[in-house]
Amino acid sequence: MRYLREEDRELASRFLFLSMALVVISKDIYTIEQGPYKIKEPYLELLHKMEHKGKIERKNLKQIMQQKKVNVLLLNKNESFTSYLFTANRYEEKRNYFNPAIRKKVEIIMHELMQKALQSEHGKLNTNGGQKREAIN
């Protein structure tokens, strides 16, 4: 088995875990929409922004992966580990991930997406023509 270049492995890993994060976000959106929340809109707005940012990034990653002929395939999954085959040109590498480690990687990406979503919102709040907001005490 030949091993992938670090750059290709990182590209494929980011695509894989970002895709998983988007699945989690989608399920969270559904859960909130169906749930007994009194005020759903702020949560849904944040999740939709996170989803949008993630989909844009995943689309870009997918284009780069197609150009470089990089693929990720699920090989095996059990209670403790999940195995993926990463391929790029004539190189391949089998990667085994401990399932709690996958969860942690997805959580980190969700935090990144949340920060991006909040930063874009923060930028909009600062462009209100210099108007100050009144604090509610």
In a domain, 69, yes or no: yes
In a domain, 72, yes or no: yes
In a domain, 105, yes or no: yes
pTM of the complete model: 0.86
Identity of the residue numbered 70: V
Distance CA 135, CA 87 (A): 55
Sheet holding 70-77, edge to edge: 70-77, 81-88, 91-98
pLDDT tens-place string over residues 97-129: 999 999 999 999 999 999 999 998 776 654 444
Number of domains in the chain: 1
Instruction: Give the per-residue pLDDT at 128.
Output: 44
Q: Which of 17, 4, 12, 10 is nearest to 108 (CA)?
A: 17
In a domain, 109, yes or no: yes
